[in-house]
Amino acid sequence: MKTYFLTAFDKSGEKLLDETIQAENDQEAKKLGEARLKEANCHEHTHRLTSPAGQLLLFHR
């Protein structure tokens, strides 16, 4: 399992979500990240999901 990093912000820059996600690969991490963003009602806020190698997998501004 790899550790991915999910962060969401509101317009003032305050962190709404700052979590890690455990997944086997990037595609699984993206699915889990999108589900977590919707669950936390943060999918319309600025967010990002990065891989352990620092790759940006999800980004919304």
- Write the secondary structure of 7-26 as one string of H (helix), E (strand) and C (coil): EEECCCCCEEEEEEEEECCH
- Over residues 23-50, the pLDDT tens digits come to 999 999 999 999 999 999 999 999 999 9
d(CA 4, CA 51): 5
What dihedral do alpha carbons 34, 40, 44, 47 form, nearest 10°? -60
- Entry pTM: 0.91
